[in-house]
Structure 1
Amino acid sequence: MKETLTNANFPRDAQGRVYHLSLKEGEVANRILTVGDHVRARAIARHLDTEEECGHKIFENVSQRGFTTITGRYKGVPVTILAIGMGNPMMDFFVREVRAVTKGPIAIIRFGSCGSLNVNAPPGSVVVPYGGYCIRRNLDYFAEEKVTPQLDKPYLISGVFKADAEMTATLERTMKEALAPVTAKNDMVGPVVAGGLNADGCSFYSSQGRLDPTFWDDNEEVIQDALSVHPTTNSLEMETSMLFHLAHCVKDTDRPIRAAGCMQVFADRVNNGFISPDVVGLLEPVAGRAVLEALIQTKIEEVDEKGTVWERK
């Protein structure tokens, strides 16, 4: 902690920078591509317009909490690429604090990696979900003295939170267009699997059904339980459904959050396979550009660039 903060309810420093992202108004564009991995963020940022093309410097900030922010332009449109790390809490930090330092509506696309629960989505494919739900470890189930003994289940499965339909359709289209020439040459890349659901686990291990004999998890049936409630589930990860949930919960109708997401399939949870580094090297740059294309095609109210880091000099 480097600065004196005010307001314990929503901490900011004297410049108005939010606590975890260390960003202030004018440093985040209203179109945001979010990833978990800062290396992936910088790789995607290579697609951005050059500083000569932008008419301004590319803004980059790494917060003390590890959030990496890159703001520039893609084909002339202001965009931010923001790496947040992994898990629901990191998505919560990101969405709430970005909302606090932006004006007007914002559009967010999450680009991540996932496990597949669908034999038609092997490693190397890309999942574009139309909605998502969450799987939560019920801590009370494991407590010696239970507060809610009637809720005698080790995991809780939520209802569905929908992605933005228009953004999702655009993302599906741009992803299919981008991957078509790659899949024509390499059968280890693709297909694009759309129309189903994504599941967010609250952890990588227990709530995603990974068996670990070191811990008491009672998770042998958690994936089948989730599929029995939501049979159209294609993917399993930790962030995208939380993004859809938070977008759904925004109260200010004049400043909505439009959200979509896509994930590269890394892990085959049906047949226990995993993607190879060579396939990631082929897939990730193409898919990243497809997400940027979908983002700039999303129609939202533009904001005044005066005083922002993307103001043309």
Structure 2
Amino acid sequence: IELDPRLIAENDVSRLAMLGFSRMSLGVQDFDPDVQAAINRLQSFDLVESAVGEMRRVGVDDVSFDLLYGLPRQTAASFAATIEKTIALSPDRVAVFGYAHVPALLSRQKLIDEAALPTPELRADLAELADAALVGAGYRRVGFDHYAKPANSLARADLEGRLRRNFQGFTDDLAATTIGVGASAISHVEGLYAQNAKSLRDYYDAIAGGRLATARGVELSPREKLIGGAIQDLLCRSKADISGLLARLSPQEASAVCRRLDILEADGVIEWRGDNVTLANEARPLARIVAMALDPYENRASADSPLPLARAI
């Protein structure tokens, strides 16, 4: 379960533990007060430290932090301090996500000063900084944006080839079905995605009327499952056999995918040998660019060029 440190009331953690929640995640984002002020999310280090302490006290042995780079007013020095404080609190997992500024979709982001956002170059530097510090502190790099202590189940799943990625991130959960509860929640049943109504009013109206709150969904075709499988292999194991994928694409789509892969290989991002595409170890932060190159539906990239780096980091 994910918790907001600002909203944890007395005994909340112990009650959740008694209900069976064994992994708890805190949306930390950043510890720097100036950055917190810029995103209107004020939460002190002491507040987060207290929440972690309570989790450990009641026996929660899998504590996770979500951090964000690319936030307004972030600097290399301020983010390095955030990573240092994170390491000091010793969470079992750390996810380091890139902040996506999409005010057209999220109206609250219109309040953020775009001039204060880091440059694409600084975003890349922040991601590298976090990677070096966390790996140096003993965390295992999992995929391209997760880190876990070696004994954690996520690290073991990565080591044993059992890692999976879903719409929430990397996971060691092998369940074929995910049930989303609440407004905007996404459910996944084999080959089908469904999302609940985003607004609380629409969600409550549907539930009060005895109806499912599903607002939209998509059923994957056999071809889409095959494409998704190749992308899953690439993101989770850094390599994929693309022979089946290319065989199901039209000649034009297959040609476009191959041209994009040629460019990525020339840039040293991948190795392409026969039917196998392998992500270069130092290029793991660019995994999404390679995934996009494999996706014939990805129309934000031209047939001859992958997405710009700034959109993927």
* TM-score (ref. length: structure 2): 0.29
Is the helix fraction higher in 1 or 2? 2
Is the strand fraction higher in 1 or 2? 1
| Greater RCO, CA 8 A, separation 6+ | 1
